Amino acid sequence: MADEQNQPPQPSNPQQFNYNDGRELKSAQNLVIAASITGPVSMVIGGVFLGIVGLVCGILAYRKIRALRAKGGTIRLVASRLRTACIVALVVTAIALVLNITYVVSVYPLMVEALETGDYSKLFPQGTAPSTGGSNSGNATWG
């Protein structure tokens, strides 16, 4: 009986904040931000490679968020809110990746033909291919 009186009071919520869960949540948040940025940016620069990086970041974030939601407590509530942002980032990145792959597949035959024939006019609008700097151009930099 005396031992029970000397014990510290037990918290009403047995699910205390765990710093490892906090780190995992921050890591998942950073991955969601990376996926949110790389998806749209891959449409301008980076193409398929950047789209794949964004998709991998989104998938890793989703797995971490799913594990955090299973733990319960306050971390579950925050992870549930982050899950929505992760799903949006995954959808945007997947759409960007599909568009990038479609573009590469449609332009690849033209690029191969241009490299084989040396006629780059099909790759540019109105057939205005830039000069390759050969001996036919009037201002060769390297002589």
pLDDT tens, 14-46?
Answer: 456 678 888 989 999 999 999 999 999 999 998
d(Cα 59, Cα 39) in Å, to the nearest integer?
Answer: 13
Q: Is it the case that residue 83 has pLDDT exceeding 90?
A: yes
The DSSP symbol for 125 reads G
Which amino acid would we find at residue 33? I
Whole-model pTM over 0.75: no
Q: Does residue 58 carry a pLDDT above 70?
A: yes
CB-hemisphere CA count at 13 Å for 3? 0
Mean pLDDT, to the nearest integer, of 61-71? 91
